[in-house]
Structures are given as C-alpha cells and as structure tokens.
Amino acid sequence: MRWSTSKAVVGSFEGCEVVRVLVGEEQRDFNLHRKLLCDSCAFFQTHIETIPSPSSSQDGDEDEDSVLWLPNEAPDMFEIFVLWLYQRRKFSSFIETATQRISPDECRTMRTNLVHLHLFAAVIDLPALQDAAMDALQDTYLRFDWDMSPRFLAFLYGDCDAQHAVRLRKWAIAMLAWTLHGADEKAAVMAGQLDRLFAAYPDLQADYHMHLHKMAQSRADVRIKNPQLRLPANKLRSGERLFGFRQCTFHSHRATVGEGTCPHALALGHALVAMPVRRRDNKDEIESDGSDADRLIISPVRDLNEISYLDLS
C-alpha cells in the first residue's frame, strides 16, 4: 500500500531541514523533516544527531554518513510510520477509510504491515506508535471479523522477541480464545491444530491457560467477550464488560492508567469511539461516517506484486 503526505502538510514544514532515510535492503528513499523525526523518540534523535545538516555539507556533496539507513525494516511498514508521524490526529480515520477502499487481500497486507509497525515501535521505544498500531489492528479485525490464525501465532511466538511482541501476544491470545470458543467451522479447524501449536510453543500454551484463568476469575465469557472490540472507556459498567475489552487493555500504559482516561485520547483532544459489536453471525454491518478527510493524504494502493512481507493469514 502506498501512502503519502499531502502538499499542505509538507508545506507547513517548508524551510526546515530534512534528513534522508533509506529503508530496507532495496534502500527505499524517504526525505523527512529532521526536527519532527528527532522529536518523535530518542532512537531517531540519537542516530540523526550524527548526520550532518545540509548547511554544514561542503559543496552540497552527500556521502554515506549523511543518510540514515534502516536495512532490517520493511519500506511499506515505514510508509505507514511516516503517515503516523505527520498525521497522528487522523491516523485511525485514515486506516479505517483505507480498509473501505481496498480489496480483502490488500487489507491483509496492510494488517501485516501494522503488525510490523507495532514491532518497529517496540524496538525504537515509541509507545504511542505501538498503541496506535494496536488500535488499528483491532479495528481492522473487527471490520472484517477475522479470526486468529495458527500462522500468526507461530510468527509471534516463534519469530518475535518476547519483549517486543508482549502486547501483540496478549491480544492474540485473547483472539485465540475468542476463535476457539466460536460455534463455527473456523473454531473446529483451530481446535484441531491446537495441540501442535502448544507442543511447538510452550509459552503460547502457558499464556493461553493464564488468559482463561483470568477470564474465569473476572466471570467473563470468552464466547462473547470480543478482543476485536475496543470499548470507548476504561471505566466500564458491568454490562459493557461482557462484550469487549477496555480501551487501553492492549496499550503500553495499561498498568498505569487503570480505569482512567486514555492518555492518547487526552493528547489528541478527543475520546476514541468504539465500532459496533460484530456478532458471530456476521449480520451486523459496520458503516462508514463518509468522511473525506483522508483524500489529501492517502494515495492509490500500490501494486501487490511489489509487496514481499510475510502473510500472517
């Protein structure tokens, strides 16, 4: 998927110094505003401080020390990072509208990029981006009523660093319980693969049984408590708790915020609104608000042949 910032957004930073960032083995080129990137987190500040500014370069020559190269990151994922960097307030609405415009296969590719975005945010220690990616994942799964897949679980428990993937794992385990307890063919298929998954990934088995234990303690019914659903507050009435999870359940600050307001909602000046509950019969549809706010920033979807990420379906 191709994302780009609007001319209006870029124009607001005219006169500011930019830094060239190369991403992936193919070294896809991104020219980003130095101050904006440095202000985002310590990782970029530390690495960019060593890059000479254009004004200090002699004769305008550029060498390998004047760029930042991220060889192990995915360029398509980084495009979504750039979208978040320049348009944090509208990020969730951009993702939501994008899912309405593209094909299911393209949405799955975007889903994979959001997973990698969350992991990238964990590596560079940018909690706000982790949480934005997590929210986008939950909303996308809700829109398409996707279940948790064995391949996704194998990726999280077999290929990812446990510390970086801790919140993704927590959410995936809740999704696994939701999937397994559904009365449909997908639940039967997943149940048939469960022993193999548990044998291959003991941590997965331990996390799953711990989740069931906690749900039982809280008297929650995993058949109807949907991890796709982000409820619009952390302080919930008992009836609300039956159908979804608190707004910040899978956020980086969950342990400190308690039942208080999500700090991201405060920072953005609004409260997040949960999407309608998706029932198991798939009869309920989720309707768009018809907003055209994203048209200045989201460009057409790129050719899927150019995308080489792991498919987590």
Q: Is the pLDDT of residue 113 over 90?
A: yes
Average pLDDT, integer, range 278-302: 32
Q: Where are the alpha helices (DSSP H) in the chain?
A: 7-11, 34-40, 42-48, 75-86, 91-101, 104-123, 127-144, 150-158, 166-180, 185-200, 202-217, 254-257, 263-268
Residues 205-231 pLDDT 10s = 999 999 999 999 988 888 888 999 888
Average pLDDT, integer, range 230-258: 78
Burial pattern 66-87, b for ≥16 Cβ within 10 A else e, equals ebbebeebbbbbbbbbbbbbbb
DSSP state of 66: G
- What phi and psi values does residue 307 have, to the nearest 5 degrees? -95, 130
Give pLDDT, residue 238.
67
What is the sign of the dihedral through the CA atoms of 140, 141, 146 and 151? positive
Q: Is the pLDDT of residue 40 over 90?
A: yes
Tokens encoding 197: 């998954």
Percent of the chain at pLDDT above 70?
A: 73
What domains are defined for the chain? 1-87 (3.30.710.10), 107-293 (no CATH)
- What phi and psi values does residue 229 have, to the nearest 5 degrees? -95, 115
Burial pattern 89-117, b for ≥16 Cβ within 10 A else e, equals ebbbebbbbbbeebeeebbbbbbbbbbbb
Contact partners, residue 121, CB within 8 Å, separation at least 6: 127, 129, 130, 133
Q: What distance in Å separates the CA atoms of residue 282 and residue 250, rounded to the nearest whole number?
A: 25
Q: Give the pTM.
A: 0.78
Q: Is the pLDDT of residue 132 over 70?
A: yes
Residues 6-18 pLDDT 10s = 333 444 445 468 8
Average pLDDT, integer, range 132-147: 92
